[in-house]
């Protein structure tokens, strides 16, 4: 089994660990809460090495185009400033974590953490080359973020033990993982990180 050592130029990207995507939320991902303690261990590993942690969030205006009421595919979720848009209380983000808000325009959907944000500029300014990504949901925001990260030239590690899928269609999560692997993202789990 290949072991990966964290190094300067690495970043942890924690994707959309928000109340509305967890059990009881308006757009709950099955098992979404199970990734939180795993992500906390990744956060600990990055903080221990002095490496940056970024957290993305859906931060929708009222009446966002993705909502059912506007003809979109999803129930209302993650409205900016609402309890549902807040990060999970059990997510142990470090004080210095960088928060990236996405899908903030009423008339534009943005599944990718790069779309309509300054994430790429921030990562390049920080000398980031390798992106370790986990969170919710495998088949939407994680997939689209990995697509963009690979297109932009980042090396990508997919945290396979810290993702869960929406599964609008059965198998969507596995198909998304296969596509990400095809794009060159390496699937790893906590046990693959060298101490």
How many domains are there within the chain?
Answer: 1
Question: Residue 136: how many CA atoms within 13 Å on its side-chain side?
Answer: 26
The pTM of the full predicted model, rounded to 2 decimals, is 0.95
Residue 2 placed within a domain: no
CATH number at residue 135: 3.40.50.850
Domain presence at residue 1: no
The reply to whether 78 belongs to the active site is: no
pLDDT of the chain, 195 residues: tens digit per residue? 678 999 999 999 999 999 999 999 999 999 999 999 999 999 999 999 999 999 999 999 999 999 998 998 989 999 999 999 999 999 999 999 999 999 988 888 889 999 999 999 999 999 999 999 999 999 999 999 999 999 999 999 999 999 999 999 999 999 999 999 999 999 999 999 986
| Catalytic (active site) residue 16 | yes
Q: Which of 10, 58, 78, 102 is catalytic?
A: 102
Domain region containing 147: 10-190
Interatomic CA distance for residues 128 and 147, integer angstroms: 17
Helix and strand element counts for the chain (H, E): 4, 6
Q: Is residue 113 part of a domain?
A: yes
Indicate whether 132 belongs to any domain: yes
Q: Which entry of 20, 58, 141, 161 is annotated as an active-site residue?
A: 141
Q: Does 131 reside within a domain?
A: yes
- Residue 3 domain-assigned (yes or no): no
Spatial distance between the Cα atoms of 127 and 38, rounded to a whole number of angstroms: 26
33 is catalytic: no
The predicted pLDDT at position 194 comes to 82
């Amino acid at each position: 089994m290949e072991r990966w050592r964290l190094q300067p130029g690495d970043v942890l990207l924690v994707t959309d660990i928000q109340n509305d995507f967890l059990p009881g939320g308006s757009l709950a991902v099955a098992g979404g809460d199970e990734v939180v303690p795993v992500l906390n261990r990744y956060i600990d590993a990055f903080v221990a090495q002095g490496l940056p942690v970024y957290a993305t969030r859906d931060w929708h205006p009222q009446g966002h185009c993705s909502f059912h009421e506007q003809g979109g595919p999803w129930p209302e979720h993650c409205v900016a400033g609402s309890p549902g848009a807040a990060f999970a209380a059990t997510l142990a983000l470090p004080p210095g974590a960088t928060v990236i808000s996405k899908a903030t325009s009423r008339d534009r959907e943005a599944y990718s953490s790069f779309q309509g944000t300054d994430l790429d500029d921030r990562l390049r300014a920080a000398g980031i080359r390798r992106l370790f990504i986990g969170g919710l949901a495998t088949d939407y925001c994680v997939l689209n973020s990995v697509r963009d990260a690979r297109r932009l030239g980042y090396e990508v590690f997919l945290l396979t033990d810290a993702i869960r899928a929406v599964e609008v269609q059965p198998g969507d999560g596995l198909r998304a993982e296969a596509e990400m692997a095809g794009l060159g993202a390496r699937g790893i789990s906590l046990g693959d990180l060298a101490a």
